[in-house]
Structure 1
Amino acid sequence: MIAALLASYDVPDATVADLLCDRHDPDAVAFTFVETDGATRDVAYGELADRSKRLATVLATRGVERGTRVPVLMGKRPELVVTLLAIWRLGAVHVPLFTAFATGAIRMRVESSAATLVITEPAQRVKLDPIAGVDVLEVGPALDRLIEHSEPFAPSVAVGGDGTMILLFTSGTTGRPKGVTVPVRALAAFHCYLHYGLDVTEDDVFWNAADPGWAYGLYYGIVGPLACGRRNLLLNAGFTPESTLEVIKALGVTNFAGAPTIYRALSKSGEFAPLSLRRGSSAGEPLTPDVVDWAARALGVEIRDHYGQTELGMVIGNSWHNDISKPLKKGSMGHPMPGYSAGIVEGQIAVDIPRSPLFWFTGYEGEAGKTTERFTPDGRWYLTADTGHVDEDGYFYFTARDDDVILAAGYRIGPFDVESVLITHPAVADVAVVGRPDPEGVRGEIVAAFIVLADGANPGDELAEELKRLVRDGYSKHAYPRAVHFVDTLPRTPSGKVQRFLLRQR
């Protein structure tokens, strides 16, 4: 299948709009949009094709052409998908903007991409006002009338398999976000993950709840489903445990994917009867074993952890497809996906490029030095900067971002291992662990835990000592947190990843 996918997507005359839209049955439903009141609307490929062709004509009059970078600041509404397809019809490049961004984060991405036009929705328009030198196109009645009176743009511009379709900036967990250029041939990898990793079938009611302002939601909530011709649900509302359960029940979701924070919030919201799910998947951060145990009991399905990066898409996972599925091992993120080979190099999880035909990352936009750091000198291995190990059965385990490893008294301690123990305490709703300089100057660093308490839990020395004992007696004497801080919230990126560098600075 890998060779066939590559042949389909890595071709000189590839047009993104054809690969994602025009080749599908025009009457088939591409997305079901769900509003906050529970109302739903199906949008078929034929409607997407017609409106995106007409919008492409409008964008062409604004100077959008092959290679033009076009940031889009919009929620999960039909206009978002229409806009992306219109951009790709012109051979232009989509620059995702997350709707929770403030003006500063938006400005950085707009300026870094050298964009002159931003497309947005009314609720987000005010964030763009302080940014000079950019034209703004706002969806709404006026643009709808312009689209309806425009002729369809044809033919779509071919950019080839190596042509750029997306410029997506990393989440910035360890520093300034970097721009990742995503080529058209990456569609083969996205298609493969939906098929093997998530096992999305024609009969599934699939819901990837991640936001398309970030890699997992964009790659596997919009682009991947379009490539495969598989319907996805898009909920145009913020996350709550209650709304998530309501959508799953009301629409009969059978295949669900989301971030660990979603599952953790659900697990803290109370017990409920098993749902209609046959597949459950997690990505973005390691999935702690307590959530795996809870899901099997409360949801009636395993939650399988998958690993990837903005630069790669998903490359290692506990794949669901029956042809390659293996039993879960708690704490493991599974095996390399089809089309990838991986190993441990210099203590880091690494991708073996010659043996990974679906590998597509070529570098960061305008960041030659940062790009060089990602590859071994001989060019064979891509280095993820995530430390980990592989067991005797070939299961991979994540330890930490290389920058996050704690060096205490000669030991290398992974924050995730300590967090996995602390989160099991009923008083702990959320937790992050970092290394802080040892105030006594003896150990180099000490383990410091930042704890968000569950409702009704009382902070204090007694609970702090209890949490220390939990790690010391249940995991390891060398890894227990010598400092415990109770906090209201943890600093996270808008995609939900803990910004540990900010905790180290406290």
Structure 2
Amino acid sequence: MTQATMTPTHMVDRWLAIYGAPDANAAALLVDDHDPDAVAFTVIEVEASADADSAPAPITTDVTYGDLAERSKRFASALADLGVGRGDTVGVLMGKREELVVSLLAIARLGAVYIPLFTAFATPAIEMRLTSGKAKVVITEPSQASKLEGIDGIRAIVAGEEFEQLVSSNEPIAESVAVGGDGALILLFTSGTTGAPKGVPVPVKALASFVAYMHYGLDVRDDDVFWNAADPGWAYGLYYGVLGPLATGHRNLLLHAGFSPELTAQILGGLGVTNFAAAPTVYRTLSKDPRITGFALRRASSAGEPLTPDVIGWAQQALGTEVRDHYGQTEHGMFINNHWHSDVYETLVPGSMGKPMPGFAAGIVDGQIAIDVPASPLMWFSGYLDAPDKTAARFTEDRRWYLTGDTGRADEEGRYFFSARDDDVIIMAGYRIGPFDVESVLITHPSVIDVAVVGRPDELRGEVIEAFVVLAPGIEGTEALEKELQQLVKTEFAAHAYPRTVHFVDALPKTPSGKIQRFLLRKG
């Protein structure tokens, strides 16, 4: 039976047999088994223009599977010399660049575990993740290295001269460790409403789910020029911008530069992108720029939050295709989609997230969108790192259903519609931000005695953060204090996660048990 004649069930079984095997070797599956001459990634950097009125010129560099194999084998030897071995964790604090992929593969070769760190995080957020994950080594880039100063017990390796010296001076590692399908590959931290961010161990067998989404959800083909523009510091960019493309052998573009509509248009047109995936904020921003028009994409996909109808209508004219909304979480990847692949393609229904992907079965449990675990062979999440209580809260008592925490409904045709987040996670520009993270920083200010953070609708970003702050007696809420609190969050948590507005209030609405009623703040 050829792949073209396989049913979705056969395809899922095939992927599970490969990536879930007891002897599954992540390094082999991601790089060594591919044609060494094939291009794995095209790295795009932007050279500053001497003419302030002209657009920056993108510079592209192709990175082959052979390049990645050789460099990751040598870098694995260097990490081994530092004491990194099977089961150890290594942090990677980088943007979209070749060294990030080399680092991931080198870590996998040792049977170690990769901890992605978002480059907008400040030192405390980075330190918390490294400490929780028990990492001793961090690989970073020059613009991020200062954030690691003062974190005890961390050996930092910086991209550039130091990184290249370690690669060139070490012999390739002889063999890569096979941890098997149940062995950990990634430790990715996500945020919730209360408590510290939760660690999500991602096993090698999760690659089967990522490959299924690349195939059915995104419909990435051999002749596509594929570009997932999401950041690899988060799930969508890591799962489907690095791991999925590596596993399937489909090239992705890595833009090592900040986002702008003009640069995006240059890349879409100049590199002939045919299959594009990005957060809704990217599409909303592009839709506001009249220069974004006349493209002929074959596929366009969005994930992170529901798309608004105006963006879908704009895309048909400007991009040459509709944008299809997809739904998932860090804990399991994408699983309800408006699929692009012809085997599961259906006409887009406005407002719907689509139907469960082959390999997943869904339902509505207590008003929440849920995964039927026994009927979902691609479901790989089994629990959070060292957090049994939080793990238990994600499943029904009999462990049959995984509860997403997002409320929704399903129609008679089996299509799912998102209603609201049952927790209070804020999704801004596709990034999930836990109120606890921001509140924990704001409460450290000596003038603040109580605080609550909520998300408010925003036309461009989907949501923005607003803070409600109760000040100590005798302290006046001024514009200067608002700016001081905003800067505190930028410095102590993440540059992107500061509250756009700070409201100074006399008290916060709370339940008799003392829980903040954030829904009242959102209504205010």
Q: Normalised by the shorter chain, which TM-score bucket?
A: 0.7 to 0.9
Question: Which residue of structure 2 lines up, in the alignment, with residue 25 of structure 1?
Answer: 35
Report what 2:216 is aligned to. 196
Q: What does residue 296 of structure 1 align with? A: 316
Are 1:117 and 2:127 counterparts?
Answer: no
Out of 373, 376, 381, the residue aligned to residue 361 of structure 1 is 381
Secondary structure at 2:74's aligned position in 1?
Answer: helix
Contact 1:173 1:501 in 2 (8 A): no
Separation in 2, partners of 1:384, 1:449:
19
Question: Which of 323, 328, 343 is residue 363 of structure 2 equivalent to?
Answer: 343
Which residue type is aligned with residue 293 of structure 2?
A
CA separation in 2, counterparts of 1:225 and 1:120?
Answer: 22
Contact 1:31 1:232 in 2 (8 A): yes
Give the aligned partner of residue 63 of structure 2.
43
- Using the aligned pairs only, state the percent identity: 60
Q: Partner residue of 1:286?
A: 306
SS of 2:46 mapped into structure 1 = coil
Q: Does 1:186 align with 2:206?
A: yes
Cα offsets for 1:136-193 (capped at 9, x unmatched):
1112223312311211002101101000000000144666311000000000000010
Unmatched runs of 5 consecutive residues or more in structure 2:
1-10, 48-57, 429-434, 436-453, 461-481, 500-516
Which amino acid in structure 1 is aligned with residue 383 of structure 2? Answer: G
* Residue type at the aligned position of 1:194: M
- CA change 1:449–1:79 in 2 (3 A) is closer
Q: Distance in 2 between matches of 1:324 and 1:395?
A: 13
Alignment of 1:5 onto 2:15: yes
What SS does structure 1 have at the residue aligned with 2:240? helix
For residues 69-468 of structure 1, the aligned pairs below 5 Å read: 69-172=89-192, 176-270=196-290, 272-404=292-424, 450=456
For the residues of structure 2 that align with 1:150 and 1:291, how far apart are their CA atoms?
Answer: 50
Q: CA separation in 2, counterparts of 1:273 and 1:146?
A: 45
Structure 1 residues 261 and 80, CA gap change in structure 2 (3 angstroms): same
Q: Normalized against structure 1, the TM-score is what?
A: 0.81
CA RMSD of aligned residues (A): 2.8
Structure 1 gap ranges (5+): 406-414, 420-433, 435-447, 455-486
Query: How far apart, CA to CA, are the structure 2 residues paired with 1:275 and 1:453?
Result: 24
Using the alignment, how far apart are the partners of 2:107 and 2:64 within structure 1?
19
Corresponding position of 1:422: none
Report the Cα distance in structure 2 between the residues aligned to 1:25 and 1:502, rounded to whole angstroms.
53
Contact 1:77-1:234 within 8 A present in 2 as well: yes
Task: Evaluate the alpha carbon distance shift between residue 8 and residue 503 of structure 1 in structure 2; reply closer, same or farther with a 3 A threshold.
Answer: farther
Question: Which stretch shows the higher mean deviation, 134-143 or 491-500?
Answer: 491-500
For residues 503 and 109 of structure 1, do their structure 2 counterparts lie closer, same or farther at Cα, with a shift above 3 Å needed? farther
State the alpha-carbon separation in 2 of the partners of residues 173 and 248 from structure 1. 37
Query: CA offsets per residue over residues 225-255 of structure 1, 9 Å max, x none?
Result: 0000000000001111111111101100000
Query: SS of the counterpart of 1:79?
Result: helix
**TM-score normalised per structure 2:** 0.79
C-alpha distance 50-502 of structure 1, shift in aligned 2 (>3 A): farther
1:363–1:497 Cα change, 3 Å: farther
What letter is aligned with 1:97? L
Is residue 284–residue 497 contact of structure 1 (8 Å, CA) maintained in 2?
no
Q: 1:213 to 1:232 in 2, by over 3 A?
A: same
Between the aligned partners of 1:368 and 1:80, the Cα distance in structure 2 is: 31
CA displacement at 1:497 relative to structure 2:
9.3
State the distance in 2 between where 1:496 and 1:345 align: 34
Aligned-partner SS, 1:326? coil
Looking at structure 1, the residues matched to 456 and 290 of structure 2 have their Cα atoms a distance apart, in angstroms, of 24
